[in-house]
Homo-oligomer: A and B are copies of this chain.
Amino acid sequence: MSAQSTRFSWNGTWRGLSLSGCPMIFAIIISTQAFAQTDALPLWNDTATKRAIVEFVTKASTEGGADFVPMDDRIAAFDMDGTLTPEHPMPIAVIPVLADIKANVAKNPSLGARPAVAALLRGDLKTVVALGEDGQADIIAAATDGKTTEEVAANVRPMLEKAISEKFGVPYTKTTYKPMRELIELLKKSGFTVYICSGSPVLFTREISEEMFGIPPEHVMGTWLETKLGERDGRTVLVYTGKIGHLNDKEGKPVTLNLAIGKRPVFVGGNEGGRGDIAMMRWSRDRDGPSFQILINHDDAEREFAYSESDSYSLDAAKQFGFHVVSMTDDWKEIVGK
């Protein structure tokens, strides 16, 4: 017996279907009413920002409207540090390599000459943060030099689970911004493919992206380190060379997005604090067709950290280009949950 035609009715009623050899089959109905009325972003306050996000996502995924975006083009990209999880007191990618870097510098002292590595080794986290994505990449390149991709990957999650955030009192793997996780889920439900495009090395982010953000490893972009194919005991392995292949920050982010996906993203999220995301937000805005950009503003000293760029570069760009500024204080009910 085979079904010759199946038509499901989604309008709240049911009707008979005609199937060969089986005269009495009825459609199974699930009412969609309940879904439409639920709040898609319950951890966001009912502000203009939230309403604009929900309206854009609804229009982008509603066929027939002027702002409809075909499914294949429905691409969202988020920065990670400062956008999906805190970047203070230091970017979380640095945590799993703290032990390795000491051992590697002991073996090869020249690695310790890089300013960020030297600052880290003397416990000067302020300088590490000030050196930005560049310094972070130097640290991770020094820590992974000579190791295989698989050796490094295996270490990330266990080290991060052991480290407890002083500010939030939870392991670093639990420091996701909860409202952003909600937004990612809303985008996925609305047919978006969601990527991370981060300054943190992809070797790190990929190991925690599914657990922390619901984004699978193959949808993660980041700074990358050079690798070289070699053999260990007759088995092919990729070995880190200690060199940075591409620094995925500022103007480097559109380059990576184009390389990985070949399309301009429709929805982009970044944060103020390091000027890092404006280039990819502009590149999204300049696509043919609708787009939407959010810039997270770190204005909540009590519940997170308050910091800003001295020249207000990112907030000024948001005004100039029409990016939506998310105030952690005003827009989010909760930031990092217990």
Contact = CB atoms under 8 A, between A and B. Distances in A.
Given A229-B255, A254-B238, A22 B29 contact: yes
A217 interface: yes
B227 A255 contact: yes
A26 interface: yes
A216 interface: yes
Interface in A20-54: 22, 24-26, 28-31, 34
A111 B107 CA distance: 45
Contacts of A282: 236
Interface in A200-232: 202-203, 206, 216-218, 220, 224, 227-229
Contacts of A25: 14, 26, 28
Contact of A283 (B229, B259, B261, B279): B229
A14 B238 CA distance: 52
A254 B236 CA distance: 10
Given A255-B229, A261-B218, A30 B17 contact: no
A256 to B, nearest CB: 10
Contacts of A31: 1-2
Contacts of A30: 2-3
Given A254-B236, A279-B229, A262 B1 contact: no
B224 A259 contact: yes
A71 to B, nearest CB: 11
Query: For chain A, which range describes its interface: under 10, 10 to 19, 20 to 34, or 35 or more residues?
Result: 35 or more
Contact of A217 (B3, B14, B34, B262): B262
Contacts of A26: 22, 24-26
Contacts of A29: 1-3, 22
**A28, A29, A254, A283 — which one has the most chain B CB atoms within 10 A of its CB?**
A28
A329 B238 CA distance: 36
A19 interface: yes
Nearest to A281: B236
A217 B30 CA distance: 35
Interface string A253-289: 0110011111100000000000000010011001000
A70 to B, nearest CB: 13
A16 to B, nearest CB: 10
Query: 9 nearest interchain CB pairs?
Result: A229-B251, A235-B286, A217-B262, A218-B261, A236-B286, A206-B262, A3-B30, A236-B283, A236-B282
Given A17-B28, A218-B263, A235-B286, 5 more contacts: A1-B29, A202-B259, A218-B262, A229-B283, A260-B260
17 contacts: A1-B29, A1-B31, A2-B29, A14-B22, A17-B28, A19-B28, A26-B26, A206-B262, A217-B263, A218-B261, A224-B259, A227-B259, A228-B255, A235-B286, A236-B279, A236-B282, A236-B283
